[in-house]
Amino acid sequence: MIVVDVKYLLAFALVASLSACGGSSGGFDQSPESVTGGASSTSSSSSSSSSSSSSSSTSSGGENNSSSSSSSSGAGTSTSSSSSSSSSGTLPGSSGGGTASGSSSSSSSSSSSSSSSSSSNSSSSSSSSSSSSSSSSSSSSSSSSSSSSTGSSGGNQNAVGLDNPFVGAKWYVDPVWSAKAAAEPNGTLISGESTFVWMDRIGAIEGPADGFGLRDHLDEALAQGADLFQFVVYDLPNRDCAALASNGELRISENGFARYQNEYIKGITDVISDPAYASIRIVAVVEVDSLPNLVTNMDVADCQEANGSGGYRDGIRYALDALAEIPNTYAYLDIAHSGWLGWSDNFAEGVELIGDVVESTAAGWDSIAGFASNSANYTPVQEPYLSNPNLQVGGNPVRSADFYEWNSYFDELTFVQDWRAAMIARGAPTTIGMLIDTGRNGWGGANRPTGQSSSSDLNTFVDESRVDRRSHRGNWCNQHGGVGYRPQANPAPGVDAFVWVKPQGESDGISEADFVPDPNDPAKQHDPMCDPDANNTSNSAVGTNAMDNAPHAGRWFPEAFELLLNNAYPPLQ
């Protein structure tokens, strides 16, 4: 295990503002709280010793491909405009609808086991009666930076060798998801935004006869005039090894690694390497929640197997090597979230393990553009009223509250900035960037606090001050969150983009234990963390807070979509 040197855990100023582009569905609120940077967890402020161990992770939630028919109404592209940011302590509000604005530690916890995660995927193979939608966005030129993120040079120079592929890009809008969103009440407020497409099984690459596969999406991107396409690589053998809702089709013991190589990864690269798509910046988030499971869940048999030959390390190494051969592809390796790898032991071990995997690839650090955090999870970008984890309340530091369990990272922004600094300290180039999934971590609505609590009781102080309204940070399945910051480039130092990895309205997992198997993904099971009447598997003192009547992971869940809109922050307009 490495120790993260204090001199490398840098504090970064936040961005004061970003310009908002005109949107396809109206402007969004531009006034989130002005803060000085989340729950700061730089190493200079973490001297207390833990008196309680952190809860162990049950890992991730659901994934899928919903295959219900939905008609495309002609979604436009999301356009990023380049604007420089000044750092005076605020995050941007959001871009207008359909746009994405762009501009150029650890605690000393004694136990440090993860408090769980969330993976969940959206449907890439849902059917759509329209295969093309004209772009309503104007063309914007690429803002090319100097250093190459992945692979060798070649292809369209507007798509190759960019420090940040999101800057200056026209972001693809998935017409399948967009049509579903637009059909819901007030859904047009976000239906023009860009979301990731999940390749969560071999069959999703080709897609159903009446729907969209990977090539269909890329053809649609060309039709829209988009030059940024985002998708998720998610089909490792023994996938989701510490949970049940998103179990995958491949097993290590059943020749899973060979199938992953020859049927899944090759199937993807055969499509995205087509010269017809050389002008598109193809962004891949790679294997959500996988390597973090090897940090915290080695007491689970499936994870033990995934830690061996033909498992997660071998699979991700192979995937990164294959993607790096395609010069207009940018891979971001998933690192879970601050509520999983935030404890000092987990953080250090995660940096070591994940760094080792990257360095073991043929291209080394050139195999990735950066890392992705909070994929399909709910952890807020910032906790505006809990900026100091060592603030003393009732004689105890805030981080020792029941909700934080001695984890000094309360938010994603501080976590990803420190993670990036730690990776640079071990040899990563300074060009690496971070992604934060903000699709469901807005935590707005009537229950959002408007200021810091005045209570002298530690737990009351935290509960009344935190915007994250979950009963436990390990609750990952169908939570009562809200739409967060809209997709945008360069929202904060070191962060390439806020993105929507998990499309709103897609379930995290089925709520009923007595269920009919998903016909596309029969391996998906009922996970107790998706049962609204169950207790958290890591802490039986609290419930799961999962929504009732939820379908299988990735299937359309209109009640969840409505709730996310109602709880959006910044509010939707």
Average pLDDT over residues 380-402: 98
| CATH number of the domain within which 297 lies | 3.20.20.40
In a domain, 276, yes or no: yes
pLDDT in tens, 437-471: 999 999 999 999 999 999 999 999 999 999 999 99
Tell me whether residue 532 is in a domain: yes
Average pLDDT estimate for 421-431: 98
Chain segment 63-77, per-residue pLDDT in tens: 333 333 333 444 455
pTM over 0.75: yes
In this structure, is residue 154 part of a structural domain? yes
For 191-203, what is each residue's pLDDT tens digit?
A: 999 999 999 999 9
Write the DSSP string, 335-354.
Answer: ---HHHH-SHHHHHHHHHHH
Within-domain flag for 539: yes
Residue 457 lies inside a defined structural domain of this protein: yes
Side-chain-facing half-sphere of 201: CA atoms under 13 Å? 28
Is residue 274 annotated as part of the catalytic site, yes or no?
A: no
Question: Hunting for tokens 């390749």 — which residue is that?
Answer: 199
Q: Are strands 281-286 and 197-199 parallel, antiparallel or unpaired?
A: unpaired
Phi and psi angles of residue 415, each rounded to the nearest 5 degrees, phi first:
-60, -50
pLDDT digits (tens, 9 = 90+) for 137-179: 333 333 333 333 333 333 455 899 999 999 999 999 999 999 9
Average pLDDT over residues 406-423: 99
Q: Is 340 annotated as a binding residue?
A: yes
Q: Does a structural domain hold residue 573?
A: no
pLDDT at 82: 35
Nearest to 545 by CA among 482, 448, 465, 477: 477
- Strand ranges (DSSP E) for 196-288? 197-199, 228-233, 281-286
Query: Which pLDDT value is given to residue 92?
Result: 57
Residue 182: which H helix or E strand, with range?
Answer: helix 175-183
Neighbour tally for 134: CB within 10 Å: 11
Query: Of 39-48, 88-97, 508-517, 552-561, which one has max mean pLDDT?
Result: 552-561
Would you say 502 is a known binding-site residue? yes
SS3 assignment, position 94: coil
- pLDDT at 539 (0 to 100): 81
Print the domain residue range for 53: 6-566
**Residue 571 domain flag:** no
Average pLDDT, the chain: 80
Please give the angle made by the CA atoms of 166, 333 and 567, to the nearest 5 degrees: 65
Which is the catalytic residue, given 235, 289, 496, 527?
A: 289
Is 476 assigned to a binding site? yes
What are the structure tokens assigned to 561, written together?
Answer: 């979509």
406 among annotated binding-site residues:
no
Residues 324-347, mean pLDDT to the nearest whole number:
99
- 173-232 residue pLDDT tens: 999 999 999 999 999 999 999 999 999 999 999 998 888 999 999 999 999 999 999 999
CA angle, 436 as apex, 362 and 475 as ends, to 5°? 110
| pLDDT tens track for 484-512 | 999 999 999 999 999 999 999 999 989 88
Q: How far apart are CA 306 and CA 240, in angstroms?
A: 10
What mean pLDDT is predicted for residues 103-127? 40
**How far apart are the C-alpha atoms of 536 and 528, rounded to whole Å?**
8
| Residues listed for the chain | 573
Has 198 been labeled as part of a binding site? Answer: yes
176 and 83 Cβ atoms separated by less than 8 Å = no
Do 272 and 214 touch, CB atoms closer than 8 A? yes
pLDDT at residue number 277? 99
Percent of the chain with pLDDT over 90: 63
Q: Does residue 41 have a pLDDT over 80?
A: no
Residue 136 pLDDT > 60:
no
State the pLDDT at residue 95: 43
Count of structural domains, the chain: 1
- Is the model's pLDDT at 7 over the cut of 90? no
463 is in an annotated binding site: no
**435 φ/ψ angles, rounded to the nearest 5 degrees:** -115, 145
- Give me the torsion for CA of 477, 480, 484, 486, rounded to 10°: 80
Q: Is the peptide bond before 208 cis (omega within 30 degrees of 0)?
A: no
Q: How far apart are CA 61 and CA 507, in angstroms?
A: 9
Q: Give the number of other CB atoms < 10 A from CB of residue 186.
A: 15
Residue labelled with tokens 């990272």: 409
210 part of the active site: no
User: Is 174 an annotated catalytic residue?
Assistant: no
Q: How far apart are CA 416 and CA 412, in angstroms?
A: 6
Q: How confident is the model at residue 534 (pLDDT cuts 50, 70, 90)?
A: confident
Q: Which of 235, 334, 496, 508 is catalytic?
A: 508
**Token code pair at residue 380:** 């807020």
Domain assignment present for 1: no
Packing angle of the helix pair 344-359, 412-425 (nearest 10 deg) = 50
Mapped onto helix, strand or coil, the DSSP state of residue 357 is helix
Tokens, residue 559: 């009640």
Tokens of 392: 């003393």
The answer to whether the CB of 80 falls within 8 A of the CB of 166 is yes
Structural contact between residues 10 and 416, judged by C-beta atoms closer than 8 angstroms: no
pLDDT of residue 91: 67
**Which secondary structure element, helix H or strand E, spans residue 82, and what is its range?**
strand 78-82
Predicted confidence (pLDDT) at residue 120 exceeds the cutoff of 90: no
What would the mean pLDDT of 545-569 be, rounded to a whole number? 94
Instruction: Give the residue with greater pLDDT, 550 vs 108.
Output: 550
Say which of 216, 235, 240, 418 is annotated catalytic: 240
Query: What pLDDT score does 101 carry?
Result: 37
What is the tens place of the pLDDT at every residue in 266-276? 999 999 999 99
List the structure tokens of 184: 């819901």
Q: What is the pLDDT of residue 512?
A: 84
Rounded Cα distance, 443 and 571, in Å = 10
Q: Which residue has the higher pLDDT, 99 or 560?
A: 560
Q: Helix, strand, coil: what percent of the chain each, to 5?
A: 25, 10, 65
Strand-strand pairing, 78-82 and 99-102: parallel
